[in-house]
């Protein structure tokens, strides 16, 4: 009789300490702008935005034929209409936008390829064939099979077009955003009038951003911010007649004061180190903002052993909350599970605020626990979002799409670096399954409710600490056979004797032999307790008197 095949588990990657943030951005509102200031900003943004659109069009037309000569030619043409520094900022922004479009194009092709493979596999299966965890089965009816065959043809056509465009280096870029462009055809659903949409569209296409320059005064010659908060802008050549200061500059009436990281910003501009600035207008609020950003030197992360020295906080990411658990250095759960909820419905600023609030609560709790690191899964649900893989499981696909993986990692890494905590990323393989199997039931108590997500937090923390997820369970069975199932190991697989019979308590004690010998020497013969041999104390006295006589 052949032995049953064991399930082949995929290899688990080793945990690692995540690198810290490489850049910083702070923002402040321009509160006291005069009507003349707003007029100048609108004219400059509109003029430079038109130049940026023309430059992006030329760059997309160049495709893979782009080189240093074409870049220099474009910059010369823009310099005549603005200035050399504005031209440099525009061309750099154009290159970044083109490169981002190329990366998105490649991701789109990979998504189409995944969908085509899944459809071809399912169409090749018999109708009604059940699937497994590793491979989906066939479709449930001939009608569904026919509909999916038509979708396969559509996806293959899209894939062919995308591959052709990539070979020709053709990208589709919308300055202002594709989402806002499509909103033009659904003004009623967006609750906007045509004039309101037009105002948002024009504001998004303005260009008022300048890269920093090390060695220049206050780190930027185009948009300059003095230590006292005074903001001045180098106007483009056609708008030089609007300047109110020397050398074609315009000084805004509204100063800025960066309350967050203000001292760090002041130290940089005092040392004339590069700081990039961007001025943008929020149409819905009717407010102007200035954002300052700069790069940080790459900071060497702490060693993994140092991050593990004080224990770990294991955090399981879910669609509506973080499930966290505190573990000591040896991987033992401490206290009760903690849950930090957030609401990802509503506008993008609301969702971002919810994530930041939940992360802040996690970090404060971690500091109170005294740990030096937080363990989190290295999640990437790019392949899991495909429509063809999960079929009609629409709610499950929405659940996966709702988990903020990318934004969460970026926010958590940057905020943890400010609090002095490290982030340890672990492989997410089997954390929920094994955590539920080994930790949920043992830790459940009348006053402690354990969920699957809480158990997953323990599994994540143990993996970040370098311990196996499986816990120490009860002793083995009363015999050495496996007739009642395979015994769970007690120690690591490399320890000798880990599968042997558990010794008795007396044999495990360090003074078992000495105590056993002492008890045997002091112990006397006990009287028989059977009914026939039992005697009372009075009978023993009578026998002794007869012998004396």
Ranking 238-247, 338-347, 384-393, 491-500 by mean pLDDT, the lowest is 491-500
Within a domain: residue 16?
no
Task: Report helix, strand or coil for 347.
Answer: coil
Average pLDDT over residues 163-180: 92
- Virtual CA dihedral for 65, 71, 77, 79, nearest 10 degrees? 170
Paired sense of beta strands 209-210 and 321-327, if any: unpaired
Q: Give the Å distances, CA to CA, from 314 to 234, 301, 311.
A: 50, 19, 10
Within a domain: residue 197?
yes
Is there a contact between 249 and 235 (Cβ–Cβ < 8 Å)?
A: yes
Within a domain: residue 3?
no
Average pLDDT over residues 4-16: 73
Is there a contact between 323 and 333 (Cβ–Cβ < 8 Å)?
A: no
Helix 84-124 crosses helix 68-81 at what angle (to 10 degrees)?
130
Per-residue confidence (pLDDT) for residue 405, from 0 to 100? 60
216 and 310 share one domain: no
Q: Name which residue leads in pLDDT, 456 or 540.
A: 456
Q: CA 235 to CA 130: how far, in whole Å?
A: 68
Asked if the model's pLDDT at residue 291 lies above 50, the reply is yes
Within a domain: residue 427?
yes
33 and 138 share one domain: yes
72 and 128 share one domain: yes
Q: Name which residue leads in pLDDT, 343 or 491.
A: 343
108 and 229 share one domain: yes
Position 299 confidence tier, pLDDT thresholds 50, 70, 90: low
List residues bridging with 287 in a β-sheet. 282
Burial letters 140-170, b for 16+ CB under 10 A, else e = eeeeebeebeeebeebeeebeebeeeeeebe
Asked if the model's pLDDT at residue 251 lies above 90, the reply is yes
Average pLDDT over residues 378-393: 58
Q: CA 325 to CA 323: how far, in whole Å?
A: 7
Ranking 326-340, 344-358, 472-486 by mean pLDDT, the lowest is 472-486
Per-residue confidence (pLDDT) for residue 477, from 0 to 100? 56
Per-residue confidence (pLDDT) for residue 526, from 0 to 100? 47
217 and 246 share one domain: yes
112 and 195 share one domain: yes
Residue 386: give its domain's CATH number.
3.30.420.10
The pTM for the full model equals 0.74
Position 271 confidence tier, pLDDT thresholds 50, 70, 90: very high
Give, for 122, the enclosing helix (H) or strand (E). helix 84-124
289 and 321 share one domain: no
In the structure encoding, which two tokens stand for residue 518, read together? 């002492």
Range of the domain at 274: 23-295
Within a domain: residue 524?
no
Q: Which residues contact 537 (CB under 8 A, 6 or more apart)?
A: none
Within a domain: residue 53?
yes
351 and 461 share one domain: yes
Q: What digits encode the pLDDT tens for the residues 97-150? A: 999 999 999 999 998 998 899 899 999 999 988 877 677 888 889 999 999 999
Asked if the model's pLDDT at residue 236 lies above 50, the reply is yes
153 and 65 share one domain: yes
Q: CA 549 to CA 537: how far, in whole Å?
A: 19
Asked if the model's pLDDT at residue 81 lies above 80, the reply is yes
359 and 254 share one domain: no
Of 230, 211, 207, 238, residue with least CA distance to 222: 211
Per-residue confidence (pLDDT) for residue 7, from 0 to 100? 59
Is there a contact between 450 and 481 (Cβ–Cβ < 8 Å)?
A: no
Q: Give the Å distances, CA to CA, from 139 to 120, 134, 390.
A: 11, 16, 12
Q: CA 486 to CA 498: how far, in whole Å?
A: 13
Per-residue confidence (pLDDT) for residue 397, from 0 to 100? 60
Asked if the model's pLDDT at residue 441 lies above 50, the reply is yes
Single residue among 267, 295, 323 that ends a domain in this structure: 295
Q: CA 408 to CA 412: how far, in whole Å?
A: 6
Asked if the model's pLDDT at residue 346 lies above 80, the reply is no
Burial letters 352-369, b for 16+ CB under 10 A, else e = eebbeebbebbbebbeeb
Task: Write the secondary structure of 243-310 as one string of H (helix), E (strand) and C (coil).
Answer: CCCHHHEEECCCCCCCCCCHHHHHHHHHCCCCCEEEEEEECCCCEEEEEEEEECCCCCCCCHHHHHCC
In the structure encoding, which two tokens stand for residue 382, read together? 């790019």
Within a domain: residue 251?
yes
Single residue among 415, 433, 465 that ends a domain in this structure: 465
Per-residue confidence (pLDDT) for residue 20, from 0 to 100? 80
286 and 328 share one domain: no
CA 58 to chain centre: 36
List residues bridging with 251 in a β-sheet. 232
Ranking 171-185, 280-294, 461-475 by mean pLDDT, the lowest is 461-475
Paired sense of beta strands 312-317 and 321-327, if any: antiparallel
- Per the structure, the count of domains in the chain is 2
Within a domain: residue 460?
yes
DSSP 445: B
Task: Report helix, strand or coil for 120.
Answer: helix
Is there a contact between 43 and 239 (Cβ–Cβ < 8 Å)?
A: yes
- What does pLDDT average to over the chain? 82
Single residue among 428, 446, 465 that ends a domain in this structure: 465
Asked if the model's pLDDT at residue 239 lies above 90, the reply is yes
Q: CA 223 to CA 213: how far, in whole Å?
A: 11
Q: CA 358 to CA 360: how far, in whole Å?
A: 5
Position 508 confidence tier, pLDDT thresholds 50, 70, 90: very low
393 and 355 share one domain: yes
Of 238, 237, 212, residue with least CA distance to 225: 212
């Amino acid at each position: 009789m052949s032995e049953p095949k064991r399930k082949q588990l995929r290899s688990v990657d080793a945990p690692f300490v995540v690198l810290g943030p490489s850049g910083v951005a702070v923002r402040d509102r321009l509160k006291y702008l005069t009507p003349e200031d707003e007029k100048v900003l609108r004219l400059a943004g509109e003029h430079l935005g038109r130049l940026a659109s023309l430059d992006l069009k030329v760059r997309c037309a160049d495709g893979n034929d782009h080189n240093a000569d074409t870049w220099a030619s474009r910059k010369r043409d823009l310099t005549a209409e603005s200035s050399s520094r504005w031209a440099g900022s525009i061309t750099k922004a154009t290159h970044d936008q083109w490169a981002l479009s190329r990366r998105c194009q490649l991701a789109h092709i990979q998504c189409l390829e995944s969908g085509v493979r899944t459809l071809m596999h399912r169409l090749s299966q018999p109708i009604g064939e059940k699937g497994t965890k590793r491979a989906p089965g066939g479709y449930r009816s001939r009608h569904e099979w026919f509909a999916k065959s038509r979708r396969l043809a559509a996806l293959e056509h899209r894939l062919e077009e995308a591959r052709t465009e990539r070979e020709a280096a053709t990208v589709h870029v919308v300055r202002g955003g594709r989402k806002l462009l499509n909103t033009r055809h659904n003004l009623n659903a967006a609750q906007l009038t045509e004039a309101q949409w037009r105002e948002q569209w024009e504001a998004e296409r303005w260009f008022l951003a300048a890269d920093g320059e090390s060695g220049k005064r206050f780190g930027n010659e185009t948009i300059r911010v003095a230590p006292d908060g005074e903001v001045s802008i180098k106007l483009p050549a056609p708008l030089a007649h609007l300047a109110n200061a020397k050398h074609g500059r315009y000084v805004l009436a509204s100063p800025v004061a960066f309350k967050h990281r203000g001292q760090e910003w002041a130290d940089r501009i005092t040392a004339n180190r590069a700081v990039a600035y961007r001025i943008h207008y929020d149409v819905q609020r009717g407010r102007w903002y200035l954002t300052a950003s700069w790069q940080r030197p790459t900071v060497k992360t702490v060693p993994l052993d140092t991050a593990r020295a004080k224990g770990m906080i294991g955090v399981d990411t879910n669609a509506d909350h973080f499930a966290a658990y505190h573990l000591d250095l040896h991987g033992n759960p401490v206290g009760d599970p903690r849950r930090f909820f957030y609401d990802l419905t509503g506008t993008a600023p609301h969702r971002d605020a919810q994530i930041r609030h939940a992360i802040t609560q996690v970090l404060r709790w971690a500091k109170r626990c005294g740990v030096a690191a937080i363990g989190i899964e290295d999640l990437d649900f790019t392949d899991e979002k495909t429509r063809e893989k999960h079929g009609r499981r629409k709610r499950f696909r929405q659940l996966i799409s709702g988990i903020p993986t990318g934004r969460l990692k970026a926010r958590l890494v940057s905020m943890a670096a400010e609090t002095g905590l490290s982030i340890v990323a672990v492989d997410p393989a089997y954390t929920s399954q094994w955590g539920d199997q080994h930790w949920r039931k043992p830790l459940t108590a009348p006053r402690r409710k354990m969920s699957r997500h809480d158990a997953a937090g323990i599994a994540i923390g143990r993996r970040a600490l370098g311990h196996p997820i499986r816990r120490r369970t009860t002793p083995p069975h009363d015999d050495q056979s496996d007739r009642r199932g395979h015994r769970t190991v007690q120690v690591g697989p490399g320890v000798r004797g880990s599968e042997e019979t558990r010794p008795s308590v007396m044999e495990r004690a360090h003074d078992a032999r000495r105590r056993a010998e002492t008890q045997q020497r002091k112990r006397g013969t006990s009287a028989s307790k059977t009914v026939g041999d039992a005697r009372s104390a009075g009978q023993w006295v009578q026998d002794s008197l007869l012998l004396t006589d």
